[in-house]
Structure formats: C-alpha cells, structure tokens
Amino acid sequence: MQNLNTYVLAIESSCDDTSCAILCNNTVLSNITANQKIHEKYGGVVPELASRDHQKNIVPVLQEALKVANITLEQLNAVAVTVGPGLMGSLLVGLSFAKSLALALNIPLVGVNHMQGHILAHFIIDDKDHECPQFPFLCLTVSGGHTQLVKITDHLCFEILGSTIDDAVGEAFDKAAKILGLPYPGGPLIDKYAKEGDRSKFKFSTSHVPGYNYSFSGIKTSFLYFVQNNVQKNPDFVKENLNDICASYQHHLIEVLLKNTKNLIKETGIKHLAIAGGVSANSELRKQVKALETELNIKTFIPKFEYCTDNAAMIGITGYYKFLKKEFSGLDIIPQTRMSL
C-alpha cells in the first residue's frame, strides 16, 4: 500500500535563529530553535557571528528535532530549506546542509521563501479546531526586515499590495529600544514595558507615503530627537518615563500599520485578515487586530506565538505545499539575500 504521509524536514537559518522542524503533512511533529544570545550585547545581529553559531547549532538542532518527532532520516520524503531573503552567510549554512542531506538521502530539495513561510504558518494544523484563512485573504507581514501588505489567492500565489520604502517596523521597534538602552531584540521589551504605560502621553511624527506603502525611517529619527531633547533637559527622563515612552511609541507604530490595513480591507472588500512575522507576537497589535473583527465585520487570524518569530515549522508547511506541486529545487540553487514573494 502507498504511504500517504509525507514527512518533510525543514531548515531555517536566514538570520540569527537556527531551527529545524519535522512535519507530517500539515502537522508539526517537532520544531526546535536555537536562539543566538551572542548578538544581545551588540545591539543587533552581527552576520559573521550568526553564521558561525549556525555552524555550531545545526547538527544538534537537527538531532533534537528528529528525536522529538521520533523519526529517522530514512523516513523523510523531502528537505525544505530557506533560500532567502536573509543574511548570505547564515543562509549558506542552512542551504549547504540541506543540499548534502537531500543528496545523501536521495530525496527532493525544496527551496522556500522565508516571507512566504511567515504567511503559510497559518496553514499548520496543530489542533482539530484550527481554522485557516480562506482565499483570497490579506496578510500584514511584520518582521525585523520586512513590512508588507499581501493578497494571497492560493497557497503559493502572493501579490504585494504595499510595503515599506525604507525600514521595517521590527527595525523601528529594535532601534528605538537601542536608543532607550535596552538589549537586542528590543521589540519584546517595548511590548513588556508598554503594558504598564500611558499610550497617549507622547506623540510622534508620521511620514506620508503614497498607496498602501509604509515608511518607518522618519518615525525612528523623530524618536531619536525626542529622546535626545528630553534627556538634555532631564538626564533621568528615560528612567522616569520608560513605560509611557514605550506605550506611546508602540501605539503610534500600530496606528500607522493598521491605517493602511483598514483602508485596504475597505477598498478590496476582502473579509479575512491575517498577521504574520516576529512583530505579530506584539500583544497590543494582536489585541487591536482582533478588535477589527467587530469594527470592520471581518475575520482575523493571529498566529500562535511559536509561529510568529523565525521558526522552521513555517518553512516546513511551505515546503509541503511546494512538494505537493512538485516544485523542487536543483542542487545548484544559491542563497538570495533579497527575494521577492
């Protein structure tokens, strides 16, 4: 009898997280991630150090993923791996490793776009009550390197309707945190302090860009001047106002993100909205997106925390859909630091 189950090993190493997952069809059997702590003290990811840590982590992370899934290498049907976008050295570690595994096991290699992975994480079926968005749906993808409004018409059909013309919203979080003296990545810390703060205490500037595009570079600069000016007057300004600064700044970023999103929903009439990427872990963004259900009479899809920030499970689900369509990659495939959807 034919084996109907497809076992996909997925590898993600595009930035500073080394992750391996095993999927059986669209369910996750294991999803193991080694986070690199080394970048904290530098206030951002140091590419050379990230590649070296991936080299150290990749074998133990794979072994753990196999152990948790209770699967042997011989049972795998395909190896899915992030091809881009991301850091060249980091991508090279995962891609070279995936190529050698696919070659040694004589199974297909499936190259995956990391940003497609963030979106398709919504199609991982971890429990029987899980609901997937229905096509066509919109996704606000918000990560450390990207901010995109995407229309998805099929598992592998994406159309970008808006994106940032400069910094990503994740960078706007992380750089502001650095200005406040917080370690990298600062997004989760701003989220934490904002919970105790007054979001209407301080106001920040907005950059106007045409269409459904975004710009966060000016907001980040205005934040820098805001802190510098206030610290000049009161050296303890940050310490005394940390919660209110975080709450006000976070509120501003979310307002900017949701303004275009709401306009796009009204314009397209699309009733299903998902969020994806590291910043979709933000508690206030999750709350405000959920509130759009009643405000706009739509249905929203908010990922589980483990599928917000970088993880191999999202690469696995994308690899699974590509596997079904026999979209395999040759062993001559190379990493792409920039890659369109």
Residue pair 335/85 in contact (Cβ under 8 Å)? The answer is no
Single-letter amino acid code for the residue at 180: L
Query: Interface with Zn ion includes 141 (CB under 5 A)?
Result: no
For position 167 contacting ligand KG4 by CB under 6 A, the verdict is no
Counting DSSP H helices and E strands in the chain, the numbers are 9, 10
Give the total residue count for the chain.
341
User: In terms of CB distance, is 136 or 183 closer to ligand KG4?
Assistant: 183
- Four-residue CA torsion sign, 10, 12, 13, 19: negative
Number of residues this chain uses to bind ligand KG4 (CB under 6 A): 19
d(CA 277, CA 148): 10
Asked if 53 is part of the footprint of ligand KG4 (rule: CB under 6 A), the reply reads no
187 binds, among Zn ion, ligand KG4, none (CB under 5 to 8 A by kind): ligand KG4
Using rule CB under 6 A, residue 170 touches ligand KG4: yes
The verdict on 280 binding Zn ion (CB under 5 A) reads: no
CB-nearest residue to ligand KG4: 278
How far is Cα 226 from Cα 230, in angstroms, rounded to an integer?
A: 6
Subset of residues 244 to 303 that bind ligand KG4, contact rule: CB under 6 A? 277-279, 281-282
173 vs 301, beta carbon nearer ligand KG4: 173
Query: From CA 121, how far away is CA 117, in angstroms rounded?
Result: 6
Query: Is residue 198 classed exposed, middle or buried when 0-12, 13-18 and 19+ CB atoms within 10 A define those classes?
Result: middle
Which of the listed partners (Zn ion, ligand KG4, none) does 193 bind, with a CB threshold of 5 to 8 Å by partner kind?
none
Q: CB under 8 Å to 157, separation ≥6 — which residues?
A: none
Residues pairing with 30 in the sheet: 22
Cα(134)–Cα(15) distance, rounded to whole angstroms? 30
Q: Total number of residues binding Zn ion (CB under 5 A)?
A: 2
Answer for which of 13, 36, 51, 143 binds Zn ion (CB under 5 A) is 143
Site string for Zn ion, 287-326 (x = CB under 5 A): -----------------------x----------------
Binder of ligand KG4 out of 113, 143, 147, 329 (CB under 6 A): 143
Q: What does 172 interact with, of ligand KG4, Zn ion, none (CB < 5 to 8 A by kind)? A: none
- Provide, rounded to whole angstroms, the least separation between the CB of residue 112 and ligand KG4: 13
CB of residue 232 vs Zn ion: minimum separation in angstroms? 37
Please state, in angstroms and rounded to a whole number, the distance separating the CA atoms of residues 139 and 301. Answer: 9
The edge-to-edge listing of strands for the beta sheet with 78-84 is: 27-35, 17-24, 7-12, 78-84, 109-113
Nearer CB in complex with ligand KG4: 15/76: 15
- Least spacing, CB of residue 16 vs ligand KG4, in Å: 8
C-alpha distance from residue 135 to each of 123, 295, 297, 299 (Å): 12, 21, 17, 12
Nearer to ligand KG4, 85 or 319 (CB): 85
Binding of residue 310 to ligand KG4 (CB under 6 A): yes
272-276, strands of its sheet edge to edge: 157-163, 147-154, 137-142, 272-276, 299-301
DSSP 180: T
> Of residues 172-191, which lie at the interface with ligand KG4 (CB under 6 A)?
173-174, 185-188, 191
- Cβ 178 to ligand KG4 shortest distance, Å: 11
Query: 12 is in the binding site of which of ligand KG4, Zn ion, none (Cβ under 5 to 8 A by kind)?
Result: none
Crossing angle of helices 283-296 and 187-194, rounded to 10°: 70
173 binds, among ligand KG4, Zn ion, none (CB under 5 to 8 A by kind): ligand KG4
* Contact residues for ligand KG4, defined by CB under 6 A: 15, 143-145, 170, 173-174, 185-188, 191, 277-279, 281-282, 309-310
